[in-house]
Structure 1
Amino acid sequence: MLSEVERFIVITGGPGSGKSTLIDHLREAGFSGSREAGRAIIQDQTAIGGRALPWHDPDLFAELMLSWELRSYSGAMARTAPVFFDRGIPDIIGYLRLEGRPVPAHLHTAARTFRYHRRVFIAPPWPEIYERDAERGQSPAEAERTYASMVATYPEYGYELVELPRLPVEERARFVTDHLR
């Protein structure tokens, strides 16, 4: 049986780079996967008129993302097969830094405590597939800055980044599963 660290695989990168599409494809292939915290929180907060939105209260938004990620992590512990995470706890740190916000000590503690596979897959900016939608209001330039923030943040916590190729989703999925063997 694989340990949590070996089973918990993060796919990160900037918005609109194909992360969620890849995780959806891996789910269809029989793997488990988490939903992206930020997108789900934006949907929920918008539906209830909440203020934990990145454009209203980025610090509260980050706290809700942390709560979401901790719950996703806890839920994944009950599984014995690999679980693909649509972003991880270090993404929240990268987000706060990108926004010029302070990173609370408990967030650093969470990133050091709740560990993922040492190889983190990162999706590079992909302008040809980038689209804005109701939850993704960032410009392509902001998406590139988000990518750069993740490139800087994950290695600080001991992760090795593996860049995903800009290929059709089936080939991207095969790239990921081949790298985990």
Structure 2
Amino acid sequence: MDHLVVVTGGPGSGKTALIEHLAALGHARTVEAGRAIIRDQREIDGPGLAWRDDDLFAELMLSWEMRSHREASAWEGPVFCDRGVPDLVGYFLLRGLPVPAHVDRAARRFRYHRRVFVAPPWPEIFTGDAERHQSPEEAERTHRAMAEAYPAHGYELVELPRVPVAERARFVLDVLGTAPRLPGARAERR
């Protein structure tokens, strides 16, 4: 699955802004599971929120990421994934819990490009919002958990520079040896 490229890291580090910029250049993308699940669960006052049932929230994120992987596997060209299945391994590490066997199996089965881009904590751009309840300290801990989870599953981390989003996008495309797509060739997937 060399065309599925993960961008991970802690919240508020510019991951989604980067992926949105790459999508504006015409590249396909996936949507972050956690944010989408929070929006959906709030809409129906559902139980699958981290602050209501952390285990259910984790299972919903795992299912979302597996579905996103399957769908994106059929797409052509690079697909920029706003997190991936191994993020769930990091989620359990962040919580200080053992990683369930089925989560580890999923992280080993659903593969991505060997290079995973990790956005380092960036306090200067960190902001909270309706879906982001974490503190800058938790963002740092999340980054460390992802930096542990991905290499443990055979991936090479490439740290994103703390530069404006257009420069970050150029960096990613240069590392991958991929050119921006033509304007108007938008290939965003949700």
Give TM-score, length-normalised by structure 1.
0.96
Query: Could you give the per-residue CA deviations for residues 11-38 of structure 1, whole angstroms, max 9, x where no partner exists?
Result: 0000000000000000000000001000
Q: Which amino acid aligns with 1:88?
A: G
State which of 75, 79, 85 in structure 1 corresponds to 2:81.
Answer: 85
Partner of 2:128: 132
Query: Within 2, Cα distance between the matches of 1:96 and 1:58?
Result: 10
Query: Could you give the per-residue CA deviations for residues 104-138 of structure 1, whole angstroms, max 9, x where no partner exists?
Result: 21111110011000000000000010000111000
Partner of 1:53: 49
Q: How many residues align?
A: 177
State which of 153, 176, 180 in structure 1 corresponds to 2:176.
Answer: 180
Matched, 1:166 2:156: no
Q: Would you say the 8 A contact 1:120–1:161 is kept in 2?
A: yes
Q: Quote how far apart the aligned CAs of 1:47 are.
A: 0.9
Partner of 1:30: 26
Partner of 2:188: none
Query: Could you give the per-residue CA deviations for residues 82-119 of structure 1, whole angstroms, max 9, x where no partner exists?
Result: 10000011111111121123322111111001100000
Matched, 1:105 2:101: yes
| RMSD (CA atoms) | 0.8
Matched, 1:147 2:133: no
Query: Could you give the per-residue CA deviations for residues 127-163 of structure 1, whole angstroms, max 9, x where no partner exists?
Result: 0100001110000000000001111111000000000
| SS of equivalent to 2:138 | helix
| SS of equivalent to 2:12 | coil
- Any stretches of 5+ residues in structure 2 without a counterpart? 178-190
Identity %: 63
Query: Within 2, Cα distance between the matches of 1:61 and 1:120?
Result: 24
Query: Within 1, Cα distance between the matches of 2:82 and 2:148?
Result: 18
Q: Which amino acid aligns with 2:95?
A: E
Runs of 4+ residues over 3 Å off in structure 1: none
Query: Within 2, Cα distance between the matches of 1:130 and 1:26?
Result: 20
Query: Within 2, Cα distance between the matches of 1:9 and 1:95?
Result: 19
Q: Would you say the 8 A contact 1:59–1:101 is kept in 2?
A: no
Query: Within 2, Cα distance between the matches of 1:128 and 1:176?
Result: 21
| SS of equivalent to 1:6 | coil
